[in-house]
Amino acid sequence: MTNKDARTPASVQDAQSEEAGKSIGWHKAYVEGTRPDLRVPVRQVHLTNGQAVTLYDTSGPYTDPLVDTDVRRGLPPLRENWIISRGDTEEYAGRPVRPEDDGIKHTSPRGGLRNLDAVFPGRPRQPRRSRDGEAVTQLAYARRGEITPEMEYVAIRENVAPEVVRDEIAAGRAVLPANVNHPEIEPMIIGKRFLVKVNANIGNSAVTSSIEEEVEKMTWATRWGADTVMDLSTGRNIHTTREWVLRNSPVPIGTVPLYQALEKVDGRAEDLTWEVYKDTVIEQAEQGVDYMTVHAGVRLAYVPLTANRKTGIVSRGGSIMAAWCLAHHRESFLYENFEELCEILAAYDVTYSLGDGLRPGSIADANDEAQFAELRTLGELNRIAKRFNVQTMIEGPGHVPMHKIKENIDLQQEICDEAPFYTLGPLTTDVAPAYDHITSGIGAAMIAWWGTAMLCYVTPKEHLGLPNRDDVKTGVITYKIAAHAADVAKGHPGAQEWDDALSDARFEFRWEDQFNLALDPDTAREFHDETLPAEPAKTAHFCSMCGPKFCSMKISQDIRREHGGTRTEIEEGMAQKSKEFAASGNRVYLPIAD
Amino acid sequence: MTNKDARTPASVQDAQSEEAGKSIGWHKAYVEGTRPDLRVPVRQVHLTNGQAVTLYDTSGPYTDPLVDTDVRRGLPPLRENWIISRGDTEEYAGRPVRPEDDGIKHTSPRGGLRNLDAVFPGRPRQPRRSRDGEAVTQLAYARRGEITPEMEYVAIRENVAPEVVRDEIAAGRAVLPANVNHPEIEPMIIGKRFLVKVNANIGNSAVTSSIEEEVEKMTWATRWGADTVMDLSTGRNIHTTREWVLRNSPVPIGTVPLYQALEKVDGRAEDLTWEVYKDTVIEQAEQGVDYMTVHAGVRLAYVPLTANRKTGIVSRGGSIMAAWCLAHHRESFLYENFEELCEILAAYDVTYSLGDGLRPGSIADANDEAQFAELRTLGELNRIAKRFNVQTMIEGPGHVPMHKIKENIDLQQEICDEAPFYTLGPLTTDVAPAYDHITSGIGAAMIAWWGTAMLCYVTPKEHLGLPNRDDVKTGVITYKIAAHAADVAKGHPGAQEWDDALSDARFEFRWEDQFNLALDPDTAREFHDETLPAEPAKTAHFCSMCGPKFCSMKISQDIRREHGGTRTEIEEGMAQKSKEFAASGNRVYLPIAD
């Protein structure tokens, strides 16, 4: 998105000299709000024609050369003063961190108590939660009519009035995930009135990956445009990995607490209890997780509805809860304790992401009874959450053929009172493993156009393995394309200006501007240089695709040069020549009527 | 698509022993028609559960181990007897091949006359055209009620009745591109009632590439599923490259004769004449080109309509014709001589692909006056072509944001009497050079769902350079995804069976079957093996994505095993346990009503 207001020079603070920025084509700048500690980062692209284009920036302080980042220290706590000055939260001792939080058993020879200082060397900080009786969520503030610094921040980012932000949050149509224990984030908003957002999943699995890799994947994903990151780690070091990710993340972090809870009971779903789960939620809330996927809609009665499915239950959380329900032949403990869970989340301003545990795992299972039964329950839970002032979004599928996509968003919006929809794709066909970023990018673009607020990315490794660095980038870029295509189709203010700026550069053969405006400047430049690496080719009026003689844009430019640039000029030129031609008596000119 | 009829063992001829096929997971087979020389190739995938899935196959004799192919000899002339036995065509001396056909000037030191025997060593053959007064196009046959072997062939391929094929061709809703001088092709059909087709562009440009590379790109593209190939070569060796491509292609070949005509006048658009163009069309028709893009809709009066566009004219053919029109300030020679052109194309059964020379080259220019003015002219030309029994399809954009896509197909179908629409993408955003296979794959899937019959692929190199081998594959796979997603959404008979077969394999952890059923088995296998290369992992009930403990499909399977496989069994099991539980008096079981 281009941000018109942000172009006003007075409001833009340069992170580095504009001269330095021009040499690499762009630089990081900040738009200041109504207070000096409210500075919204933007990516300022400098064009060779002297103009500048301002783009939304998710990359955090890592791309600001004036900020000295250190992963062992964590990012500066941007929101700390805002949170403290509200005076409605307090620090407290917090739950002690235990070895089993990291998957280490008491009996393990490698076990033994460790504390957080040891596993994350950075800033020791006590957790914070609401004072008794205080409602500390952005939803509560919005309902009271308050515009928080967080709301002003996202208003600047989205190029809308702060009142729009407050109204959308108050109505439950948007969420601003911002745990009081995650002061490092640069606030962002998720709702259909705003830019479509993209989530990237990271997380080690039992099979592979390390803490450092996950932190690096997070910064890498945000570098390419991820608006939030979900840490889906399982296995060992799950607490420590999350701590590192949180302390270094400029974007909200989401988790699925059920995964860690399951680790605490050695992977036996039937051994899960509300107590273990609750303890895990508090553990993660104290660390600063901004939103949590909760599969409270997988009710006992719905499990048999999946029996005739082609691919059963494909959500990890959904299958764990289904196994628990059947093993105990009783209602889900998440459903039964949902109100207490709301109280916990409200105390930290953790946002619900109500999980679709029964989402379809194949084209054949799309839009079936099980899926929609759960959706109706999510609508019910959404209303309960709102009673507790808990911000809530709703997760959606999955695998859905194109002709069945619209029903998903329409039903969700109706049943869930327009709460933000957060979908995984959907994949529009099952036949292309290794290309599911594309099978799902198609569905993602469509469902976002129709109103989905955030898209969970899918990488080329989906169904096959754990994504590496390249896969993460490919997934993010593919989903940024889907999101932006939707922003354009929705007519989001300013969205098409970005396309227009790039198209202008293309028509005028400003190759460097095309690269710098591209979603992925590196790859665009690399592809161009593969066949025409020489520096003069960067200003050439053609590329290797068609060569100089066949370049339609060049011919098109020549036409304008010869016959005038505007329609009137071309028409007048044509009429004049027509007269000359007719006067010559050589051949009658036939004006073409349309 | 899975082909149910083709599964009938009696009708399937094995190209290699089924045993040999099973060892690699699939083998090439043939479905025999009503005559022994009518054998339709299919890809027979052998599953480890003993079942087989039959898929549409575009790869030609190259994947048949019993056929000995040699690019210097060309493919066997499959249709030769069908064409000869109709008795309505005759051989004739044909136009002499001239050095300038290959871009060699008479004055060039490297020039000198060459003949076709020298430049293509394979089968020398005189060209063939209709006898006086004979109508030899598939459209003419269909209108007369004849079902040709070509029509029967595509009926078997598409799994429909031959009468459906004949009716769709007769109504002009489908084309079967099959030049009488291209007997090597395996007939295929393009129309909205049939599977969505994909075209891959190849062609050297003035800047790079060689003859051998282009032939290899063609076989490579069809290997991955391209249904037709357009040879867009420019520069030197254009005639010879085309000859090699045609003689070795199992799929219809399309061209843009204007490109070669421009070469013959040394790249000066204003020097083009109807005579040079006509000579080029005859040259290419004699070689066997199956369909030709003709930009006859770029009329003089429309050129000024592009003056206020962001990106002017972006079709090469369109910009050449616009330059010609303005230079001579007169009507397009293609438009003025369209009827004579119809007579030529009819004599060889060359299919028109009426080019959209004024298609938008950016989101900003989509659906504008220039584009739709040309479309109305294409509708007019379509009706003229039909008078001459020339099969016709209509080309479409280009760059179109999602919310403006449907208008394109709806208008085209209305204006062009439901003639097949053949679109390039469309790209749904301009901001992602290097990923335009994805920006356009999104638009392609949508427009195909709504009725587009064939999609022209876009590779990652679009706007940046000439595609290499990997780019061609990525482009074809992306577009096969778009086409198949559309087939599923349209409810094409049998389309979803392919998805279902793969999803069954996925749920049952039949990894080898997943790979073999995948659009790209090689990459799927490679991605899986990156993290879990060991052979036992091919039968493991999990992958590295979630690991064994968190595999939802495994948990889902465990649930079915423990609680019964069907819904009734699970419900009965639940009811039984519920009774036991209630009887125990331990805790009241609450049956959940929904």
- Residue in B592, B414, B426 with CA at minimum distance from that of residue A326: B592
Q: Which residues of A touch B302 (CB under 8 A)?
A: 594
- CB-based contact, B477 to chain A, within 8 Å: yes
The answer to whether residue B116 scores a pLDDT higher than 50 is: no
Q: What's the confidence (pLDDT) of residue B511?
A: 93
The answer to whether residue A110 scores a pLDDT higher than 60 is: no
Confidence at B524, pLDDT banded by 50, 70, 90? very high
- CB-based contact, A260 to chain B, within 8 Å: no
- CB-based contact, A498 to chain B, within 8 Å: yes
- CB-based contact, A540 to chain B, within 8 Å: no
Q: What is the mean pLDDT of chain B?
A: 88
- Could you read off the pLDDT of B386-405 as tens digits, one per residue? 999 999 999 999 999 999 99
- CB-based contact, A541 to chain B, within 8 Å: no
The answer to whether residue A557 scores a pLDDT higher than 70 is: yes
The answer to whether residue A295 scores a pLDDT higher than 50 is: yes
Q: Residue A206 CA to chain centroid, in angstroms?
A: 25
Q: What's the confidence (pLDDT) of residue B592?
A: 30
The answer to whether residue B283 scores a pLDDT higher than 50 is: yes
pTM listed for this prediction: 0.92
Cβ within 8 Å of residue B275, ≥6 positions away = none
Confidence at B585, pLDDT banded by 50, 70, 90? very low
The answer to whether residue B496 scores a pLDDT higher than 50 is: yes
* CA-based nearest distance B172→chain A, Å: 26
Q: Which of B329, B504, B527 sits opposite A578 (nearest CB)?
A: B329
Least confident of A74-83, A475-484, B109-118: B109-118
- Could you read off the pLDDT of B28-57 as tens digits, one per residue? 999 999 999 999 999 999 999 999 999 999
Q: What's the confidence (pLDDT) of residue A218?
A: 94
Strands A197-202 and B197-202: unpaired
Within the 409-428 window of chain B, which residues sit less than 8 Å (CB to CB) from chain A?
428
Confidence at A318, pLDDT banded by 50, 70, 90? very high
- Could you read off the pLDDT of A358-391 as tens digits, one per residue? 999 999 999 999 999 999 999 999 999 999 999 9
For residue A263, the chain B residue with the least C-alpha distance is: B549
Q: What's the confidence (pLDDT) of residue A574?
A: 66
* DSSP 8-state secondary structure symbol assigned to residue B2: B
Cα–Cα distances in angstroms (integers) from residue B409 to residues A125, A320, B164, B190, B295, in the given order? 60, 46, 22, 15, 19
Residue A470 in contact with residue B421, Cβ under 8 Å? no
- CB-based contact, B9 to chain A, within 8 Å: no
Structural tokens at position A55: 């783009």
Would you call A593 and B506 a contact, using CB atoms and an 8 Å cutoff?
A: no
Preferred mutation among A480, A549, A568, A584 to probe B, highest tally of B CBs within 10 A:
A549
- Could you read off the pLDDT of A135-178 as tens digits, one per residue? 999 999 999 999 999 999 999 999 999 999 999 999 999 999 99
Q: What's the confidence (pLDDT) of residue B169?
A: 98
Least confident of A167-176, A579-588, B447-456, B513-522: A579-588
Strands A291-294 and B392-396: unpaired
Q: Which residues of A touch B526 (CB under 8 A)?
A: 434
Which residues lie across from A12 on neighbouring strands?
A31
Q: What's the confidence (pLDDT) of residue B553?
A: 76
Confidence at A5, pLDDT banded by 50, 70, 90? very low
Q: What is the mean pLDDT of chain A?
A: 88
- CB-based contact, B485 to chain A, within 8 Å: yes
Higher pLDDT, B107 or A8: B107
The answer to whether residue B206 scores a pLDDT higher than 70 is: no
Annotated ligand binding at A358? The verdict is yes
Percent of chain B beyond pLDDT 90?
72
Residue A303 in contact with residue A316, Cβ under 8 Å? no
Confidence at B298, pLDDT banded by 50, 70, 90? very high
The answer to whether residue B561 scores a pLDDT higher than 80 is: no
Q: Which of A307, A441, A546 sits opposite B438 (nearest CB)?
A: A441
The answer to whether residue A339 scores a pLDDT higher than 60 is: yes
Tell me the three state secondary structure of residue A395. Answer: strand
Domain span(s) for CATH 3.20.20.540 in chain A: 79-104+115-490
Angle at B345 between CA B343 and CA B348, to 5 degrees: 110
Q: What's the confidence (pLDDT) of residue A124?
A: 67
The answer to whether residue B234 scores a pLDDT higher than 80 is: yes
The answer to whether residue A3 scores a pLDDT higher than 50 is: no
Q: What's the confidence (pLDDT) of residue B167?
A: 98
Q: What's the confidence (pLDDT) of residue B123?
A: 65
Q: What's the confidence (pLDDT) of residue B549?
A: 67
Confidence at A577, pLDDT banded by 50, 70, 90? low
Provide DSSP, B15-83.
SS-HHHHHHHTEEEEEEE-SSTT-EEEEEEEEPTTS-EEEEE--SGGGG-TTS---TTT----TTHHHH
**Domain B79-104+115-490 fold:** TIM Barrel (3.20.20)
